Amino acid sequence: MKTYCVTGGAGFIGSHLCGQLLAQGHRVVNIDNFNDVYDYKTKIRNILSSTGTVFPYLHSGDKMDDLAKLQAVVESDHYRLAVADIRDMDELDAVFASERIDAVIHLAAMAGVRPSIEDPLLYEDVNVRGTLHLLEAMRKHGVRKWLCASSSSVYGNNKKVPFAEEDVVDFSISPYAATKKACEVLGHTYYHLHHIDTVMLRFFTVYGERQRPDLAIHKFVKMLDKKEELTMYGDGSTRRDYTYIGDIIAGILGALTYVEEQDHTYEIVNLGTNRTITLRDLITTLEREVGEQAVIRTLPHQPGDVEQTYADVSKANRLFGYEPQTDFAEGIHKFVTWYRGDRHG
């Protein structure tokens, strides 16, 4: 049994990852601060799903009380929930001092392009300074293996497709993208100075069960289900490389095995599907799956939004056998089934 620290382990991707690590028999230390970007009870449900725990205090209405009770309920030989903020060096130090961590999977971040334009200082504080704090905790406590979530947004409006890891990514068009590029640079610095083996994972538009409620697919399904108007920015021609959560988790686990087997390595790797879907096609697919016709309100293209994302995944395949298995329609079906069952209402 190994001990893995997952930051942001109560979130969409993190809770799925924690569940898989637990299923493999490992110990998971989940660091999450349960910020107020969306309802903290959504994250509680994620943890309950990933740990298979029954928690009767979900609707008490007192956040700190709920989290304290949750920590007590989920605590086991295999799982620990540390309610902590990666911007607080003392909190991180306390966690790392009390655990023998084999590797870190760093998913915690302020996410989203448009909100980063509204509050760039917060994004810098959490994504850059928080990541630096984590790296310092790793250095101090001798943890020398980590994965870090980067983003397809670092490619900006790259004209060359598909996007490959060796492409120049010096032209970010949002503060969010800039913070993710900064994390990649910090990762290389600590690899070089402190021999921390590193894989930076550039995620391409992840969707699926437990997706955050502020993301497009989740919002659109909710609006369609309630027969509400959909807001579409631009003419619907923007394209995204949508990647199903199961494929992302398989990629993370493959990268984890890879980095654990290496001695002195730094890699940047795309995790996508190597295919794209237009916004118009996304809406059509959702209409068909939900069984409702969308009423669409068209607004201008938003600053910071890239025209397309499109992943070259050949490097991930070469390094650790990454092969996405879920086509878009199948993934949307799984999401809508989850929404109407486990999540809806």
Tens of pLDDT, residue by residue over 66-101, are 999 999 999 999 999 999 999 999 999 999 999 999
Name the percent of the chain lying above pLDDT 70.
97
- What are the distances in angstroms from CA 276 to CA 13, 143, 205? 21, 37, 10
User: How does pLDDT run across 211-240, given as a tens digit for each residue?
Assistant: 999 899 999 999 999 999 998 988 899 999
**pLDDT value of residue 305:** 84
Buried residues in 178-207 as b, exposed as e (16+ CB within 10 A): bbbbbbbebbeebbeeeebbbbbbbbbbbb
Among the listed residues 256, 160, 238, 245, the one whose alpha carbon sits nearest the alpha carbon of residue 201: 256
Q: What is the C-alpha separation between 110 and 149, in angstroms, rounded?
A: 12
CATH of domain 3-204+243-273+310-317: 3.40.50.720
**pLDDT value of residue 153:** 96
Q: Which helix (H) or strand (E) holds 3?
A: strand 3-7
pTM, to two decimals: 0.96
For CA atoms 59, 60, 63, 64, give the dihedral sign: negative
Is residue 343 predicted with pLDDT exceeding 60? no
Identify residue 296 by its one-letter amino acid code: I
Rg of the chain over all Cα atoms, to the nearest angstrom: 19
User: How does pLDDT run across 268-297, given as a tens digit for each residue?
Assistant: 999 999 999 999 999 999 999 999 999 999
Among the listed residues 78, 75, 76, 95, the one whose alpha carbon sits nearest the alpha carbon of residue 33: 95
The catalytic site residues sit at: 176
Which residue in the block uniquely carries the two structure tokens 């898989």?
20
**pLDDT value of residue 174:** 96
Pairing between β-strand 27-32 and β-strand 3-7 as defined by DSSP bridges: parallel
Q: What is the C-alpha separation between 278 and 232, in angstroms, rounded?
A: 12
User: How does pLDDT run across 115-160, given as a tens digit for each residue?
Assistant: 999 999 999 999 999 999 999 999 999 999 999 999 999 999 999 9
Is residue 299 predicted with pLDDT exceeding 90? no
**pLDDT value of residue 62:** 87
User: How does pLDDT run across 22-70, given as a tens digit for each residue?
Assistant: 999 999 999 999 999 999 999 999 999 999 998 765 566 789 999 999 9
Is residue 311 predicted with pLDDT exceeding 80? yes
Distance, first Cα to last Cα, the chain: 38
**What's the mean pLDDT when you consider all of the chain?**
95
Is residue 345 predicted with pLDDT exceeding 80? no
